[in-house]
Chain A
Amino acid sequence: MTGFTTNVQLIYVLAAACFVIGLHLMNSPATARRGNQVSIAGMVIAGVATLILLIHDGTVTATGWIVLIAGALIGSAVGLYAGQTIQMTAIPQLVSMFNSVGGGAAALVAIYGYYQVEHTGGVLGSTTVFTVLDVIIGSVTFSGSIIAAGKLQGVIGGQPIIFKGSRLLNLVLAVVAIGTAAYMLTTASLPALLIVVLASLGFGVMMVLPIGGADMPVVISMLNAFTGTAVAMAGFVIGNWALIVAGALVGASGGILTKLMADAMNRSLVNIIVGGFGTGDTAVAIGGQVDAPVRSIAADDAAIQLAYASKVIIVPGYGLAAAQAQHGVAELGKILEDRGIEVSYAIHPVAGRMPGHMNVLLAEANVPYPQLVEMDDINPEFARTDVALVIGANDVTNPAARRPGNEISGMPILDVDQAKSIIVIKRSMGHGYAGLENELYFNPKTSMYFADAKKAMSELSSAVKTLVA
């Protein structure tokens, strides 16, 4: 390392410090925007340092410059357009695509590094193990994230896709990728590199296909961790501290979120990846209360309950996002608040399609964030709540989770059944993701309001308004 490149490394360290401080500022919504700006500053610093390196090195050809600048400009334009136009309900897909391209770029860095060694007849260095790890993790992330985004967007069916021999194929792909990678460590071989890339891409596809839509919060978090790891590996390959630090930070973040999401579903990561959940053939009756009659309710009656309550908790689920009903919910919440009713929102960790998704949707609808309350904080509140309004949430409210012996046993749930009265807005009596009957619907305190969430919200809002006026 020459004196000059050492000095540039110091600039990269400054950039890495900005990333850490930026993430630290995200521990409160009040400082989070500043955190993002600090992080951007770090990225600009790293960009400038890289340009200084490129110019100082002087070996970039004219074509090289054109290629790099054109690539950066095109990529920036695409990113800018996607970032500015994306709907908040579609954020999970976009995040997944960013995971994909990030992992892909990291893999390309390693692929090029390996190609360069082979091409110039150089000797495989001690970083080769990081090179192959980067190629494998980056490629798996690239293809896996595209499949995840496709599932979230609805291009690929959200149901788990499992065919005969798919698990065997998965195993074969993994063995081929890792086996060939081991060979690459000792012998520089381009065909081997190609095999590793293809097997890893195939494995990424096969890994995500059997995973169902409702498990996406876990999958996205995991792929996020993968991308971070791939970027850190790329940092080892090119000996760049900024990449190592940034990659490690992202890897840690993705890892923490993966664990939080898996815990919130009471499922292990292995169980989720192996899949087989919600395939449709797991529907079981759990006996007892499920034979009880269901009480249905109309907008006017629901409005009376809400308008004369003193404390209302709204329980939003993915159905709310799917129906684009977040603005309607927020409007109803505000009408109730204006009447002096205490309104809060109970947010289950896996509500939505990525960690914290529901919070963003409600924030977009102008719900103040102090009203968005996490599961552990809101659960004791249900007992003194007059009306719990459940919108598009199912399994996370099912009291069956408290008993052993069914698919969702042990999953932490929102104690909706403790409320004095419960209104559930749902399109039909269809089952939740786990294929279970929800015992909550048969609770004598529960009234079912069968309607599309968006329509129900506008009906309820106008009914409450009429009532109050």
Chain B
Amino acid sequence: MSTALVTDLTIFVLALLVGIEVIGKVPATLHTPLMSATNSIHGIVLAGALLIGVTAHNPVGYVLAFIAAVFAAANVVGGYVVTGRMLKMFRKKAAPPPASRGQVSQEGLESLNGHKGLRGLAGKVGIGRAQS
């Protein structure tokens, strides 16, 4: 086994562990955008597809490179576009006026995962709205 291969394997195992650690913290609310985001991340295979071009000097190589490039590019671009679209929809309060949207997302950042605290908040918001 070559040194390069050992390095590659080390990187793979560590990345796997980092992935488990990081993704285990993602709340269920965001699981669909998470999967969509990881979807676009595996579009990195586009780099592999493009690198086929380095040695592709015959029709077989060109065809394989072309198909791989189409697949991978669709994967990357589509994945990021749809993830962005989804994440834009997640709001803390129902349809805040456009000007204050930025501030809304700033307040109470630390409690975003704590549904218990927020349920009370949501209730208060609801009552406040009822009076208007």
Please name all residues of chain B whose beta carbon is closer than 8 Å to the beta carbon of A377 when the two chains form the complex.
115-116
A30/B79 in contact, CB under 8 A: no
How far, in whole Å, are A424 and B24 apart by their CA atoms in the complex? 34
A281 at the interface (CB under 8 A from B): no
B121/A84 in contact, CB under 8 A: no
Please name all residues of chain A whose beta carbon is closer than 8 Å to the beta carbon of B19 when the two chains form the complex.
23, 248-253
How far, in whole Å, are A354 and B46 apart by their CA atoms in the complex? 25
Known contacts A28-B27, A33-B88; A224 and B130 CB within 8 A of each other: no
A57 at the interface (CB under 8 A from B): yes
A444 at the interface (CB under 8 A from B): no
Q: Mark B76-113, 1 if CB is under 8 A from A, else 0.
A: 11111111111111111111000000000110010011
Shortest distance between the CB of B51 and any CB in chain A (Å): 6
B130/A83 in contact, CB under 8 A: no
A102/B37 in contact, CB under 8 A: no
Known contacts A95-B35, A112-B56, A347-B28; A240 and B48 CB within 8 A of each other: yes
A75/B72 in contact, CB under 8 A: yes
Known contacts A83-B80, A355-B28, A360-B89; A236 and B72 CB within 8 A of each other: no
B112/A28 in contact, CB under 8 A: yes
Q: Which of A180-188, A201-209, A331-339, A455-463 contacts B (4 or more CB under 8 A)?
A: A331-339
A23/B129 in contact, CB under 8 A: no
How far, in whole Å, are A102 and B55 apart by their CA atoms in the complex? 21
A234 at the interface (CB under 8 A from B): yes
How far, in whole Å, are A236 and B12 apart by their CA atoms in the complex? 9
A112/B78 in contact, CB under 8 A: no
A108/B86 in contact, CB under 8 A: no
Interface residue ranges of B38-70 to A (CB < 8 Å): 38-58, 60-62, 64-70
The chain A residue sitting closest to B117, CB to CB, is: A370
A426 at the interface (CB under 8 A from B): no
A340/B126 in contact, CB under 8 A: yes
Please name all residues of chain A whose beta carbon is closer than 8 Å to the beta carbon of B82 when the two chains form the complex.
82-83, 86, 91, 94
B64/A369 in contact, CB under 8 A: no
Please name all residues of chain B whose beta carbon is closer than 8 Å to the beta carbon of A49 when the two chains form the complex.
47
Interface residue ranges of A40-54 to B (CB < 8 Å): 40, 43, 46-47, 49-51, 53-54
Please name all residues of chain A whose beta carbon is closer than 8 Å to the beta carbon of B32 when the two chains form the complex.
91, 95, 354-357, 359-360
A354/B53 in contact, CB under 8 A: no
B48/A234 in contact, CB under 8 A: yes
A43/B44 in contact, CB under 8 A: yes
Known contacts A43-B76, A67-B69; A370 and B118 CB within 8 A of each other: yes
A368/B91 in contact, CB under 8 A: yes
Shortest distance between the CB of B120 and any CB in chain A (Å): 9
Please name all residues of chain A whose beta carbon is closer than 8 Å to the beta carbon of B24 when the two chains form the complex.
256
B35/A369 in contact, CB under 8 A: no
Shortest distance between the CB of B89 and any CB in chain A (Å): 4
Please name all residues of chain B whose beta carbon is closer than 8 Å to the beta carbon of A43 when the two chains form the complex.
40-41, 43-44, 76, 80
Interface contacts beyond A12-B47, A359-B32: sample of 15 additional A-B pairs, CB < 8 Å, sorted by A: A1-B4, A27-B25, A36-B84, A36-B87, A50-B46, A53-B51, A54-B51, A72-B73, A79-B75, A102-B71, A105-B72, A240-B51, A248-B11, A343-B122, A364-B89
